[in-house]
Amino acid sequence: MMGDGGFWHNGLTSGVANSVFNKSDNLTIVVDNNYTSATGGQDILSSHAVNKTRSTGHAIERAVRGVGVEWVRTLRRTYDVAGMRDALKEALTTQTKGPKVLIAQSECMLNKQRREKPLVRKAIADGKRMVREKFGVDSDTCTGDHSCIRLSDCPSLSIKPNPDPLRTDPVATVLDSCVGCGVCGEVSHAAVLCPSFYKAQIVSNPSRWDRLRERVRSGVIGWLQRGEACRREAYAF
């Protein structure tokens, strides 16, 4: 495995081209996040940004094919855990001889948030309708095994007390720092772990239609929740 910065620094020649020269039957995974993360997030040859003083936009896949690699795949959404799993399985079971290269391409989330958050804050301040996606965990469905936390290691995943008095194990919860990448839910579903994750939309400066829809949904959900609470009270002690 190598990052995109390391790939351009010497990985293309000492790693990929060397494997082609020696006819190695191996797999190289290039983590392409558009920046040199190790030294501060500078642009590199494969960055998508328009840089007035540097030449960017050179695809890693073209460079890899240029030195003779025949089996090359680029995944442009690395948050798709099932898709990444299938690509790895194909790379490790293909009958194609010689080195294989899998390019895992998604922009660094830290740099993406640094770029987008100021724009979103300005749009909200100007009164524009903005929608932010966030994931959550249904406390009634979560079993408290915390496999999602162990497998994804997301800093927005934490635990909270179990709302069910009959269960003592804490349940998973998603903090407000969630950026909606979906890795937690993707990992859980790809590994067939649990169905407790859900995706919500947080609307800033909602329209009249948004407010009406929220009132209708709250009324229906509240009615169902009150009925469920009454049924639970029958078993409480």
Ramachandran bin of 31, using left for φ above 0, alpha for ψ from -120 to 50, beta for the remaining angles: beta
174 shares a domain with 87? no
176 shares a domain with 84? no
Determine, yes or no, domain membership for 122. Answer: no
Split at pLDDT 50, 70, 90, the class of 205 is very high
What is the domain-level CATH number for residue 172?
Answer: 3.30.70
User: 237 versus 170: which is more confidently predicted?
Assistant: 170
- Give the pLDDT score at 167: 83
CA distance 78 to 154: 15
Residues 139, 142, 143, CA angle at the centre, nearest 5°? 130
Determine, yes or no, domain membership for 170. Answer: yes
Determine, yes or no, domain membership for 125. Answer: no
84 shares a domain with 28? yes
- Give the pLDDT score at 185: 67
Question: What is the average per-residue pLDDT within 2-10?
Answer: 90
Determine, yes or no, domain membership for 235. Answer: no
Q: Which of 72, 107, 142 is the last residue of a domain?
A: 107
Single-letter amino acid, residue 203: V
Question: What is the average per-residue pLDDT within 213-226?
Answer: 93
Q: What is the DSSP letter of 237?
A: -
Beta-ladder partners of 172: 159
Q: What percentage of the chain reaches a pLDDT higher than 90?
A: 44
How many C-alpha atoms does 8 have within 13 Å on its Cβ side? 22
Helix runs in the chain, H state only: 4-6, 18-21, 60-66, 81-93, 109-125, 147-152, 183-190, 208-233
141 shares a domain with 196? yes
Q: Closest by alpha carbon to 32, among 73, 67, 65? A: 73
205 shares a domain with 148? yes
**pTM (predicted TM-score):** 0.72
- DSSP letter for each residue of 55-96: -----HHHHHHHTT--EEEEES-TT-HHHHHHHHHHHHH---
Split at pLDDT 50, 70, 90, the class of 104 is very high
- What is the domain range of residue 98? 2-107
84 shares a domain with 177? no
Number of domains in the chain: 2
- Give the pLDDT score at 193: 55
Question: What is the average per-residue pLDDT within 122-143?
Answer: 89
* Tens digit of each residue's pLDDT (9 = 90 or more) over 8-63: 988 999 999 999 999 999 999 999 988 887 777 788 888 888 888 889 889 999 99
* CA–CA distances in Å: residue 184 to residues 106, 107, 199, 201: 16, 18, 11, 16
134 shares a domain with 103? no
- Give the pLDDT score at 61: 94
CA distance 130 to 84: 31
Q: Where in 150-206 does DSSP place strands (E)? A: 157-160, 171-174, 197-204
What is the domain-level CATH number for residue 26?
Answer: 3.40.50.970
Q: Quick one: tokens of 140?
A: 């009634």
Burial class from Cβ neighbours inside 10 Å (0-12, 13-18, 19+) for residue 60 reads buried
57 shares a domain with 148? no
87 shares a domain with 17? yes
> In this structure, what is the dihedral angle of CA atoms 165, 169, 175, 181, given to the nearest 10 degrees?
-120
Determine, yes or no, domain membership for 232. Answer: no
